[in-house]
Structure 1
Amino acid sequence: MSINETREIAMRKGTGLLALMAVGGALALPGAASAETQMDAMQRQIEELQRQLLDLKAKQAQTEQRQVETEKRQETALTEDDLKGTMPGSIRIPGTNTSLKIGGYVKLDGIYDLGPSMGGTVTADSMPLDGDRRREGAFGYNVRQTRLNVTTETPFEDIKVRSVLEFDFYGGGGNEANVNSATPRLRHAYVTAGPFLVGQTWSTAYDLAAAGEKLDFGGLPGEQAVRQPQVRYTSVSGPDTFAIALENPESDFIGNVPANNSVTAAAGSASGIADPNFDQVPDLVIRYAHKFDWGHLAVLGIGRQITAETVTADESVFGYGLGLSGTVKFFEKDVFGFQVLGGEGINRYLNLAYRQSASFDGSSLEALTSWGGNVSVKHYWADTMRSTLIFAYQRIDNNDVVPLTANKELMTFHANFIATVVPSLDVGLEYIHAHRETEAGAEGSADRLQASVIYNF
């Protein structure tokens, strides 16, 4: 029964009750009472009944208002439920089955070099050598590691299609005199559908779970931290994961060519080749991982072709590498991680030795042997306080074609303390030591302190 029907019945009952009580009151008056006294009594009874009827109407109005508010709350609750996405922290785009999630973090780095300046990030491969003209004690702030990512997910029958787009701000910077601008740089842009991935993301060779946490944004020597376009297939069966990918190639070599790695034909020649790098087939990367109660282990293999083509030469060499990585958990939350990779013609996958996968003397190409890796230990002092120690090393066995100025060994050490002061807000301090040695035996070392504030959203 509706509220209006209830109110109408109550009013009819109230009116009948009014008449009944008025008549009853009149009959109950003593016969000796005057007509005026009877009328006064009836008037008082009518007024009392009217007051009661008004009270009843007021209560009915309150009941109706409460029901309306309850219906509104129910409608609001249904709307919020409809907008809840399939991913944690996501919302559903109205009128679609697609969930949308926006995330990232804002990061401020304060950097002080205890010795030679190393720039915005620690780059052990290009740091000053002993005896070089250099400035010491440099200080600066930057927010360029700040990043923004957008993730979508749409279910289609038995699979979910997910897309990821992420940028940071290391694409280029403005002057520090007034605006301190920074250009967005694409990091990730890929789509996954079931076991398939297409687009740009971390190389299949990179074991992100085994990487140690650090505040410095520069890459570690010997780390497979390569992001590139690829097509990947991944199969997961219980604790086992197998992945195979065809990834973007890049023929990188060093030797008797100009610094920009280009060879120009003689003036007037119609057959000049501006750049001897020539990519013909994608890199092949295969990775297998197994999870244990105490951590995980992974093995990987890399196969690639490096090609140099000039006016007078067309040379190719095969590069290959084998790697091992993993984690070991201990003391409840603490983690030991490691990554190692070695082979021939694979320096591009060792992070800080780009252009040293092979040597080229203008007529022949030879793959260079190299290896590298890193180990890390992460310890929790408390649920909101943690520290990580990282040691990273890389070595390249150069031949006589490689210039004496090329790097032979690279090393970095990181030690930090990070505290979560409130949920989503981290502050930390990190000490960094870097060292490099060239083929000629020249060496250089540098030290840095970095403080960071990170707000995740």
Structure 2
Amino acid sequence: MKTRSTRCISAFARVIIVSMLFCSTTVLAQTDTANPGKGLTRNMIESGKYQGFLFTDVKGIRLQFNGYVQTDFLHDFMQVGNIHAMQPSSITTPTVYDGNTAFTIRQSRFSFTAYGAPDAKGRALKAVLEFDLWGSTSGQPRLRHAYIQHGKWLFGQYWSNFMDNDNWPNVVDYWGPNSYIFTRLVQLRFTQNIGRSATLSFSAEQPGGDITIPDTWAGRTVYPDVTGALQFNFGKGDESHVRISALFHPIDYKNADKKNKTNIAGAGNISGNINMSKNNDIKFQLAYGAGYAKYSEDLGGLGYDAYASAQDKRLRNIQMIAPWLYFDHFWTNSLGSTIGYGYLHLNTRDLNMPDNSIKETHYASFNTTYYFTSFFKIAGEVMYGRRVNISNEAGDDVRGQFSAFFKF
């Protein structure tokens, strides 16, 4: 039985197809390039730099449709909760040597971008709807991005401004490094260019804390998160950058005495992409603060922003450090490899959390990718994940993944 969201997406797709058939359109198809690998990296895909099929003259709106199909074949040698993405926080502790094989198409995605004519002041206008098949194990569509961009302003759901969405390591795994600041939130964002090679951006983002509290308490959403980021671009073609961002994260709640409280959490993040030479890139991140696990790839949704036990009168933020470092190398125009490591550590010493709570996680991976054309690639990746609890009980997993990818 189709869900309401599936029916809406199907109806929207039919409208697009009918528009293509009955409106006056010009179709600009993709062309292959002499350097297929550089145009099909994970960073090009996630940062929206690659193009799709462009349909013009549809009632004055230019419509672009793009996406990709990806098939993943995965095998875990130890027991892990998340069988589709390497999530070290879901590894069983202690290690259980009980493997699992999964075949999936959940990474596949599609998006629609509409470009409107600039307004009277020349400000560009576009809107984006993007979906992937991560909504269920059977591949149900799930909304990723839905936003409007008008000149310097962005309204809607997009990558958080606290995240660097232009330094993706060229991994095959869906989530990548465990310590990646990785989340999409509904927001209002303003971006201003500073000179030729720098940008300054501010955003008010979706409120709410990712907390663990007793049953007699309640979480509240009152004040939005606020972020600021400054990015410097440099090098040949401004291919390199360093980004410094800050997060102000109010956590609102009601304790057992029915008193409304607000914790002030926050963090800083320095990240970047350094183009060392024609075929070598270093990508990195170092984030530190308290109460920002909501923004973590590995811990988001698990309640590690802050903690309170039944005996507590107040919520206490959890300190976290989250670095990762990756190296991308192209052996030839059609063959590349990526290697790197991520580390995430929580300071939980004085919080009296349960012994099976997470103290730290580790993530390492190596892959080799072959690019047949600028549309099609295959890749093999080996990953290692480790979870360590407060009790120092630990669990490990080794995963192998083979993937085939075609973009359109």
> TM-score, normalised to structure 1's length?
0.73
Alpha-carbon offset, residue 219 of structure 1:
4.6
User: What is the letter of the counterpart of residue 393 of structure 1?
Assistant: Y
CA distance in 2 between counterparts of 1:143 and 1:313 reads: 46
Residues 181-220 of structure 1 aligned to structure 2 (within 5 Å): 181-220=138-177
Match of 2:272 in 1: 326
User: What is the letter of the counterpart of residue 61 of structure 2?
Assistant: T
CA distance in 1 between counterparts of 2:188 and 2:103 reads: 38
1:248 to 164, 185, 206: 206
Match of 1:439 in 2: 390
- Number of aligned residue pairs: give it: 352
- SS in structure 1 opposite 2:377? strand
CA distance in 2 between counterparts of 1:377 and 1:231 reads: 33
CA distance in 1 between counterparts of 2:106 and 2:97 reads: 23
User: What is the letter of the counterpart of residue 230 of structure 1?
Assistant: Q
The answer to whether structure 1 residue 406 and structure 2 residue 368 are counterparts is no
Alpha-carbon offset, residue 367 of structure 1:
1.3
The answer to whether structure 1 residue 375 and structure 2 residue 325 are counterparts is yes
4+ long deviations beyond 6 Å:
79-85
CA distance in 2 between counterparts of 1:410 and 1:84 reads: 46
1:415 to 357, 366, 370: 366
User: What is the letter of the counterpart of residue 364 of structure 2?
Assistant: F
Alpha-carbon offset, residue 156 of structure 1:
2.5
Match of 2:375 in 1: 424
Match of 1:395 in 2: 345
CA distance in 2 between counterparts of 1:296 and 1:404 reads: 41
Alpha-carbon offset, residue 84 of structure 1:
6.7
Instruction: List alignment gaps of at least 5 residues for structure 2.
Output: 1-22, 30-50
User: What is the letter of the counterpart of residue 301 of structure 1?
Assistant: A
> TM-score, normalised to structure 2's length?
0.82
Match of 1:138 in 2: 100
Between Structure 1 and Structure 2, whose CA radius of gyration is higher? Answer: 1
Q: Retained in 1: the 8 A contact 2:112–2:129?
A: yes
Residues 80-159 of structure 1 aligned to structure 2 (within 5 Å): 89-94=53-58, 96-118=59-81, 119-130=83-94, 134=96, 136-157=98-119, 158-159=122-123
Residues 114-155 of structure 1, C-alpha deviation per residue, up to 9 Å, x if partnerless? 233451221111111125xx4623212100111011111011
Would you tell me which structure has more strand in proportion to its own residues? 2
The answer to whether structure 1 residue 386 and structure 2 residue 336 are counterparts is yes
Alpha-carbon offset, residue 193 of structure 1:
0.4
CA distance in 2 between counterparts of 1:126 and 1:184 reads: 23
Question: Which structure's relative contact order is higher, taking Cα pairs within 8 Å and 6+ residues apart?
Answer: 2
Alpha-carbon offset, residue 232 of structure 1:
0.2
Match of 1:172 in 2: 136
Residues 78-132 of structure 1, C-alpha deviation per residue, up to 9 Å, x if partnerless? x9997779x87412133x221011100000000111233451221111111125x
Match of 2:36 in 1: none
User: What is the letter of the counterpart of residue 305 of structure 2?
Assistant: S
Match of 2:32 in 1: none
Instruction: List alignment gaps of at least 5 residues for structure 1.
Output: 1-78, 174-180, 264-274
- SS in structure 2 opposite 1:125? helix
Q: Retained in 2: the 8 A contact 1:341–1:350?
A: no
Identity among equivalent positions (%) equals 21
